[in-house]
Structure 1
Amino acid sequence: MRTSVRLIVDSDGGIDDAAALWWLCRNPDVDLVAVTAVGGSVPAAQAAINLRFILEAAGAGHVPVFSGRDQTAPAPRTQRPVMIHGYDGLADLERKPPIHPPEAGKSVLDAFDELCRAGTSVLALGPMTNLGAGITSGALRPDGATLTFMGGSARAGGNARPTAEANIAHDPSAADVVLRTSWATPPRMVGLDVTHRATLTEREFGDLAASRTPAAKFLAGRLAYYGRHAGMLCAPGETPCHDLLAAMVCTDPTFVDAEIVDLQVDIGGGAAWGTTVADLRPVARRAHVSASAGDGNALGEGAAVQVGLDADVDRFRATFRSFVTLPIAK
């Protein structure tokens, strides 16, 4: 018997977010109950418009979009990724405005308060500004929910900064709040360690360009724009689609090999500000099984997080090809 995933997606409305949302909307095992917009690749207001446009194009115009927040807490200097997502977040291609605006009269905190109940999955595809605010205010009660997030890096370095991944670097304080919170299970981190491995190649882009499915028509030009620069830190000829992999992991964790490790977000304001520090030492790993390492080494003081360390690359690529050529009917 198939079990449907009841899902809230928090997104900053970029191109890989679009691929993730299209895939989720075409997945019969996903009950997408709401999407919340957060500032990141574009400001939150633009992200909300993008998300409505994406959902309506994907045949999911019934899913509400709630406008969320832009980061206001101190954070390291980062730049809008215009060369990757365009000025509007979706490659600046001509498009019609969405038919319906984002939800009026309700905030992102209202959405969390009403929708995030026991058994809900939360998928964070942008900075954690909304989630941090929801937890701090009490609107988001995560003890009965699960969290999968695209962000961070255990040993792959950074992209927005030398050691910091963009989503975490954009609002480290919010990420620290979210990851130190008691979720129903340790949060799943889909970071650069796996998104820079499970990539799109010439074959996937060829299938995308040749396909005439609605998903392919929507994504082809946008992913082509994205692919010009998004793969700078990947193997030659490969392009990550970070948020699409995170969406797949949210519905099926076996897309990656993960290990529960101690993870901290650097909120100290120095050169490593925004870095996710994963304690991969053998002594720290043993400490998750034994109450005490017993050998005098200092253990981490972070949160237990399921960190993706390797990915099923062939399966990711095959799933992408099937998605853009033979979309699953809801």
Structure 2
Amino acid sequence: MAKKLLLVDADCGVDDAQALMMALAAPQVQVLGVTCCFGNAPIENVCRNTLRVLRVCNRTEIPVFRGAASSLVGTRASLPIDHFGTDGLGDAPDETDSGTECVQKEHAVSALIRIVCEHEGQVSLVAVGPLTNLALAVRMDPTFPQKLKDLYIMGGNMEGKGNRTVCGEFNFVMDPEAAHVVLNEFSCPMYIATWDFTCRNKLPWEFFDEWVSQDGDKAAFMKRITSKCRAYSRATSRKDVLFGAGFVSYDSYAMAAAIDSSVMSRNIECSVSVELRGELTRGMMILDPSHTLNKKHKAFLTKEWDMNKFTQLLKAALEQSC
């Protein structure tokens, strides 16, 4: 049986690393490349983090491409980005760091267009960071979305609560214009795992402790990069007040859906967009179940989840063999 072809667009913080390791461990998929975007860290750190994950998994043959270093209009939320440490991977020292010399010379946006054209109708694109590279790709090639098999996004929100601003989820708030372009101009099947959905389907800390305590380099790596992360603190935080304490591997939900669509036990089909102008709501995802926007294209928003299949994919991600 032919393998599923995946392209991953990421800003490579800790949860991106978890999602990427999940894809690398899945025998039914082939990762064609990783395109990097600013977000959890500056673009050079994102590229370095991606190479670091690939080294841990012994998959350095997978090409890494440097992409957008800032949002489309050069604005971002003013809050500091320290969720996963200043470098995106928990500020855990990397004794094997060889810099970014292995990053491809080709720009990430050009690589996205080229690879998808080479495998037209076969590539699932998994976007787990700000959507800047995707928005640039459709501006360079308006037919790009039509050539994708499908698109999986971790981002946005359904309940009007945010983790970056009062009403906005991190990936969308970091580049609202890009999110607006993608949600309104990508015509391929689109599956969205929103931030609030992931929090509603969290795992107990006991699972996390067992998960990172497995034997092998990958589990040891995950334990190092999460040990000092504020996102993995057991202390009460705003996140805990809203959703209760627990482990949430945010980006892994979109990745799991791309690897095995049956993990999505129920989706709702709905028109979506992004608010660009509100003082408190800029970057918030807009749901339009009453079709007021009169959009032809709708997205599939995940509502119910097979936690057993999901935990099996997570466990496999850190097992010794990729």
Q: TM-score, normalised by structure 2?
A: 0.88
Letter in 1 for 2:178: A
Q: Output aligned runs, 1:260-275, within 5 Å.
A: 260-275=269-284
Per the alignment, residue 288 of structure 2 pairs with 279
In structure 2, how many angstroms separate the alpha carbons of the residues matched to 1:115 and 1:105?
15
1:205 aligns with 2:208: yes
Asked if 2 retains the 8 angstrom alpha-carbon contact of 1:13 and 1:89, the reply is yes
- The 3 A distance-change label for structure 1 pair 214 and 106 is same
CA–CA distance in 1 between the matches of 2:57 and 2:238? 24
C-alpha contact 1:42 1:80 (8 A) present in aligned 2? no
**Please, which of 110, 123, 131 is the counterpart of residue 126 of structure 2?**
123
Q: Which moved more, 1:218-227 or 1:260-269?
A: 218-227
RMSD between superposed Cα atoms in Å: 2.3
Q: What letter matches 1:201 in structure 2?
A: P
Name 1:94's counterpart in structure 2.
93
Cα pair distance change 1:153/1:319, threshold 3 Å? same
Secondary structure of the corresponding residue to residue 88 of structure 1: coil
> Partner of 1:199: helix, strand, or coil?
coil
**2:152 maps to 1:184:** no
Q: Distance in 1 between matches of 2:171 and 2:81?
A: 12
Deviates more, 1:146-155 or 1:134-143: 134-143
**Partners in 2 of 1:269 and 1:76 — Cα distance?**
14
CA contact (8 A) 2:135 2:179 kept: yes
2:231 counterpart of 1:223: no
The answer to whether the Cα contact below 8 Å between 2:71 and 2:174 also exists between their aligned partners in 1 is yes
Shift of 1:207: 1.0
- Matched with 2:166 is 162
Letter matched to residue 18 of structure 1: A
CA contact (8 A) 2:163 2:239 kept: no
Q: Give runs of aligned pairs for residues 287-298 of structure 1, distance below 5 A.
A: 298=292
- Cα distance in 1 between the residues matched to 2:111 and 2:76: 29
Tell me the equivalent position of 2:157: 153
Distance in 2, matches of 1:249 and 1:273, equals: 27
Contact 2:10 2:16 in 1 (8 A): yes
Which letter does structure 2 place at the counterpart of 1:167? N
Instruction: Give the Cα separation in 2 of the matches to 1:197 and 1:12.
Output: 23
Offset of 1:104 from its aligned partner?
4.2
Question: 1:10 and 1:254 mapped to 2: Cα distance?
Answer: 22
Match of 2:34 in 1: 35
Which 4+ residue blocks in structure 1 deviate beyond 6 angstroms? none
Q: Deviations over 1:23-81 (max 9, x none)?
A: 11111111111101101111112111111111111111011111111214154624343
Cα deviation for residue 106 of structure 1 reads 1.3
Percentage of identical aligned residues:
22
Aligned-partner residue type, residue 227 of structure 1? Y
After TM superposition, the structure 1 = structure 2 runs for residues 102-113 of structure 1, keeping only pairs within 5 Å, are 102-113=102-113
**Is contact 1:154-1:191 (8 Å) kept?**
yes
| 1:258 and 2:267 are equivalent in the alignment | yes
**Contact 1:198-1:316 at 8 Å conserved across structures:** no
- Given candidates 277, 299, 302, the residue that maps to 1:305 is 299
Shift of 1:179: 1.6
Once the two structures are TM-superposed, the CA of residue 236 in structure 1 deviates from its matched residue by: 3.2
The CA deviation at 1:278 is: 0.9
Give the direction of change, closer, same or farther, for the CA distance of 1:65–1:249 in structure 2 (3 Å limit).
Answer: same
Q: What stretches of structure 1 of length at least 5 have no aligned partner?
A: 285-297
Give the counterpart letter for 2:59 in structure 1.
A
The alpha carbon displacement at 1:246 in A equals 1.3
Match of 1:294 in 2: none
Unpaired stretches in structure 2, ≥5 consecutive residues? none
Q: How many residues align?
A: 310
Q: Which residue matches 2:50?
A: 51
**What is residue 194 of structure 1 aligned with on the other side?**
197
What letter matches 2:305 in structure 1? A
Q: Shift in Å at residue 194 of structure 1?
A: 2.1
